[in-house]
Amino acid sequence: MVKLFDTFEVDLPEYLNNQWAEFLILMALWMLIGLLVMLLIRVMTRLALRTEGSDVDDRVVKTISGPVLLLVFGYGLIESLRVLDAMPGWLVDNLLFVYSVLVAGIVVYLSYKIFRLVFIPITEGVSKKRKQKYDRAVYDLFESVGSVVILIFGFFWVLTVLGMNVTVFLAGAGIAGLVIAFAMQDTLSNYFSGLHLLLDKPFDLGDTIEVNGEFMEVLRIGMRSTRLYNIFDHEIEIVPNNILANQTISNVTEPDNEYRASVEVGVAYGSSIDKVKEILFESVTTNDEVVIDDGDKRPRVSLTDFGSSALEFRIRFFVKDVMEQWSVKTAVREHIYRRFHEEGITIPFPQTTLSILPPHVSEVVQVQHIQPQS
């Protein structure tokens, strides 16, 4: 009779009633337990991570199969060795200690691998269900943060298994963190500003933004800085995120790629207002890059002011492509100038009349102000 797992007594034939037979039977049982555990993990993983068009569940099972079987068989081997009288107790205890360290390392490794395998597919699926745009930069950030957190917890777990005082490390890490935070204020400010830009999303990659009167194309949003392409100067500008996050930015590609432009012109007093409006309207309606059919975005001409030397007019219109606004405005101005010339409409230039008075007129005349008698 042998006693399995120190609990179950089993009657065996005489030739199997010995320590080595009990050892082999226990190993076989532990192998069976390992296979059952793997079957259970496979079923639960596929139920939890089954997604249409994704093989993430198969990849997770493939990743954890080997390490889990190794852990089960390793523990089974150590426990089975206890039945052998030839095996010293101190050796079994040392093997259990080594096994505990390996468990911590393997669990941390599996957590890290599973997190990276599962995080992106799940976030992509959530974005599709909510009909939101999947931003790889944001999820790469959280993936990196999650991976670092897992590794830190794993490090302290291994220290705990080794019997080391984790409190000392935590205190030292806290002091070091304060010193680093104080010494890297600007860098941390840039990182948090970069996080703000990634989460708040005032602009995306490829958008055209206006910063301090300059039109820039967004090339890359990093954690420390943002890389912009200056459209006019044909140069790359690297702007720290804390500066960019504290500025007023106009995203000219939102809500769509159309852009509202305007052209101002002055005409001489006495010109026909109706004719001027007709020419201004004609200058944009004959341009293929101007939105004409949309009622809310049709060109509008207005007399904006009575200037010192001219009647001030403005025509406002929508350009189909924001990047074509400058060429369209140039074409509109050229058309206006030609049509004004044909119709004899003058664009006056500012005039100043300077009168030179005789010397005796410029003398200062003193005027006595008499207060009324009360």
Hey, where are the domains in the chain?
2-164, 197-251, 259-343
CATH topology match: 197-251 vs 259-343:
no
Q: Are 330 and 260 in contact (CB under 8 A)?
A: no
Neighbours of 172 (CB within 10 A): 10
Q: Is 248 within 8 Å of 240 (Cβ atoms)?
A: no
CA-closest candidate to residue 137, choices 215, 190, 203, 187: 203
CA distance 148 to 115: 11
Q: Strand, helix or coil at 302?
A: strand
pTM for the model stands at 0.50
Q: By the 8 A CB rule, do 1 and 19 touch?
A: no
Sign, CA dihedral 19-21-22-24, equals: positive
CATH ID of 259-343, from 3.30.70.100, 3.40.50.740, 3.40.50.1980, 3.40.30.10: 3.30.70.100
**What does the pLDDT profile of the chain (374 residues) look like in tens digits?**
455 555 555 555 565 666 677 777 778 887 888 888 888 877 777 776 665 556 666 777 777 777 888 888 888 888 777 777 767 777 877 888 888 888 888 888 888 887 777 766 666 655 555 444 545 556 666 666 777 787 778 777 777 777 777 676 666 666 766 666 565 566 666 666 767 676 667 777 788 888 887 888 888 877 777 888 888 888 888 888 777 777 777 888 777 778 888 899 999 888 889 999 989 988 888 888 888 877 788 888 899 988 888 889 999 998 888 888 888 899 999 999 999 888 888 888 876 677 776 665 555 445 444 444 43
Q: Report the CATH architecture of 197-251.
A: Roll (2.30)
**How many residues does the structure list for the chain?**
374
